[in-house]
Amino acid sequence: MTGDKGEIASLPRLIPGGRKPGKFGDWAIPLQNPAVFLTISQEIRPVFAPILKIALCSALVQKARMLIIEDLTVRIAGRSLLEDASARIVPGARVGLVGRNGTGKSTLFNVITGELAAEGGSIDIPPRWRIGRLAQEAPNGPEPLIEVVLKAPSERTELMHEAETATDPHRIAEIQTRLADIGAHAAPARAASILSGLGFSTADQARPCTEFSGGWRMRVALAATLFSEPDLLMLDEPTNYLDLEGTLWLQDHLARYPHTMIIISHDRDLLDNSVNQILSLEAKKLTLYKGGYSDFERQRSEKLVLDQKMMKKQDAQRAHLQAFVDRFRAKASKATQAQSRIKMLAKMQPISSMVTDDVRPIVIPPPEKLLSPPIIATDDVEVGYDGRVILSDLSLRIDNGDRIALLGSNGNGKSTLVKLLAGKLKPMSGTVTRAATLKVGYFAQHQVDELDMEGTPYEHVRKLMPDQPEAKVRSRVGVIGFSGQAGNTKVEKLSGGEKARLLLGLATFAAPHLIILDEPTNHLDIDSRGALIEAINDFSGAVILVSHDRYLLEACVDRLWLVAGGHVKPYDGDLNDYMRLVLSSDNRHMTVGAKSAKRQDPVQARRAAAEKRVDTAPLRKKISEAEAQIAQLNKQLGKLDATLADGTVFAKDPARAAELSKTRANVVAAIAKAEEAWLAASSALETA
């Protein structure tokens, strides 16, 4: 198109509202938004031809660079997941793909990558775009981790390979120039930086891939995908194999990703800080929202309210039209108007309101009776495996109502500490004191493998209630989240989130005083995570959390313990402080390599601990005396309340009732005083 009148005339005639061209022959050209048109009269068209040419070319180029999903329909095994779904993703967008489990998010990824064919519609991907998707299988082989990452498919890899075989001097020069432009020679440093951010020390990066477990090798796969920097990065729940430290690093890295990105995640914190658009898959449709997840929730709620108002308004309008038709259809004088309203009713499109399926609540049964504090106390404990000490100098205390999060990179001993507290691992030295009737519920994702895959939720619960009638067992299965026929579904056919629900229900079945949750949010969607937060906050016992979900931690915990360097210490800052520490250059002690840090001589450590116990013995005695006094006074208060609850005592013996009331007031005052003494002594002991 050169801009002359003849070639401009070859443009399509697009007039807003369907009106006909005027006497000068209006011409409209669609820009980025097809609904926006620039109308130019025939007389001045030659003047604006060059401008129109640039605008149109720019619009066409912009469209060619978009990822366009048009009227996509996908069915799996006869089940419809998407129907006429459309979306347009502009270059450089960082998109979070959200939706309930089972709605088809991963299926959409398979269609985009060409692994699955759509039944209808199309997906247009810009030419020459490199698509990078996290591998489903972990890499394995004798190569060092750094080499695995450096060999990831990328422009650098292709050019380096071509450079080895190229013979044309001009092509060799082009290759070397391009390698310099993309910083190819700095690639080893960039690969090492990514591996370090995901938790691998410098020494670990030189170790063969085969020496690492499956979870750690999936981190290597993630590192390789990030290193390749594809034009379209596609990640499906990338935080499932990460700890909190790795998740915080990944969140920061993705927020600065230079190309287009689509990520499936149920991590609210990541979706609020790493993406700038939310693509919602709901009711088999795709809807794009600007902003992070919190912005999406607000916009979605506003749309829901607006849809409900529009539905009410439309229903009222329908009723009014139908009433007119019913009233005047038989009258000849009004027949034409009645027919007109019948056509209006037929043309009136119903408002498609969003369906909001409320998530089933998660129930953690409360303990029948709270125990006297502390429920667990450790004094100068060493713990480890096969004579090798992992954690030492553990002097910790857990009380009723505590909400404690364990921080620290994987490999530093969080699992060891959890097993010690759960009673699954005995101390090598020191003492662990537990309340006499303490019940501990322990949930860990790896326990999913211990479920009977051929069994059903009902059969798992029946084993725990062998003597109970059928109705009670079914009721308990329903409370866990498997009512009706869902209770008879084999475990192997349950989704990851349903297995997690079942496992949590079994772990807390006995109404424990302490629950330990090790990565409880894996496979739970955002709404189910919200239900878990409510359950934890309603629970009256103590909770210890190990999780990479920062939103869950911020919503539930009030104490932080840092597990690093072979020790467990209270962390004085909040999660924002911890994030800054993780992302700083001074956090080397928190990586996997920390497990090989030098430890204090055990003899000196025990001697120092013994001296500390002697110095703090008076404080410990005060705490014990205060706890005994509080327990005795609470017992006395219970008896007084039981007596005063009998209303007849005031009628039969008013004087005795008055004396009992006075005694009760004195007991309450004594409890408050004893609690103050306990708090003062506990604070002094913690400081010491």
**pLDDT bracket for residue 684 (50, 70, 90):** confident
What is the per-residue pLDDT across 137-183, written as a single tens digit (0 to 9) for each?
A: 788 888 999 999 988 866 777 777 788 788 888 888 888 887 777 77
Q: What is the share, in percent, of the chain residues with pLDDT greater than 70?
A: 78
Mean pLDDT of the chain: 80
Per-residue HEC secondary structure of 349-407 comes to CCCCCCCCCCCCCCCCCCCCCCCCCCCEEEEEEEEEECCEEEEEEECCEECCCCEEEEE
Q: Which residues of 340-369 are buried (b: 16+ CB within 10 A; e: fewer)?
A: ebeeeeeeeeeeeeeeeeebbebbbbebee
CATH topology for the 376-601 domain:
Rossmann fold (3.40.50)
**pLDDT bracket for residue 441 (50, 70, 90):** very high
Domain residue spans in the chain?
5-64, 70-129+231-291, 137-222, 307-347, 376-601, 605-687
Cα distance between residue 656 and residue 662, in whole Å: 10
C-alpha count within 13 angstroms, C-beta hemisphere, residue 538? 12
Q: How crowded is residue 224: how many other Cβ atoms within 10 Å of its Cβ? A: 24
Q: Using the predicted structure, report yes or no on whether residue 340 has a pLDDT greater than 90.
A: no
Report pLDDT for 33. Answer: 43
Higher pLDDT, 205 or 592: 205
What is the per-residue pLDDT across 590-648, written as a single tens digit (0 to 9) for each?
A: 433 333 333 344 445 445 555 565 566 677 778 778 777 887 888 888 788 777 777 67
Across the range 399-421, mean pLDDT stands at: 91
Q: Using the predicted structure, report yes or no on whether residue 69 has a pLDDT greater than 90.
A: yes
Q: Using the predicted structure, report yes or no on whether residue 45 has a pLDDT greater than 60.
A: no
Report pLDDT for 610. Answer: 52
Across the range 656-664, mean pLDDT stands at: 82
Report pLDDT for 319. Answer: 75
Report pLDDT for 523. Answer: 83
Q: In this structure, what token pair is assigned to residue 80?
A: 């419809």
Cα distance between residue 295 and residue 288, in whole Å: 12
Sign of CA dihedral 613, 616, 618, 621: negative
Pairing of strands 559-564, 567-570: antiparallel
Q: Using the predicted structure, report yes or no on whether residue 309 has a pLDDT greater than 90.
A: no
Cβ contact 490:454 at 8 Å: yes
Cβ contact 630:678 at 8 Å: yes
CATH superfamily name and code, 70-129+231-291: P-loop containing nucleotide triphosphate hydrolases (3.40.50.300)
Task: List, in order, residues 6 or more apart from 109 with CB less than 8 Å away.
Answer: 133, 234, 236, 262, 264
Report pLDDT for 67. Answer: 92
Q: What is the pTM of this model?
A: 0.67
What is the per-residue pLDDT across 107-127, written as a single tens digit (0 to 9) for each?
A: 999 999 999 999 999 999 998
Tokens 């920061």 label which residue?
Answer: 252
Report pLDDT for 103. Answer: 87
Q: What is the share, in percent, of the chain residues with pLDDT greater than 90?
A: 39
Which of 50, 95, 614, 668 is closest to 380 using CA atoms?
Answer: 614
263 forms beta bridges with: 96, 235
Across the range 232-258, mean pLDDT stands at: 92
Q: Using the predicted structure, report yes or no on whether residue 334 has a pLDDT greater than 90.
A: no
Across the range 284-303, mean pLDDT stands at: 89
Q: For residue 37, which amino acid is it?
A: F
Of these ranges, 27-36, 124-133, 342-351, the one predicted with the greatest mean pLDDT is 124-133
Q: Using the predicted structure, report yes or no on whether residue 13 has a pLDDT greater than 50.
A: no
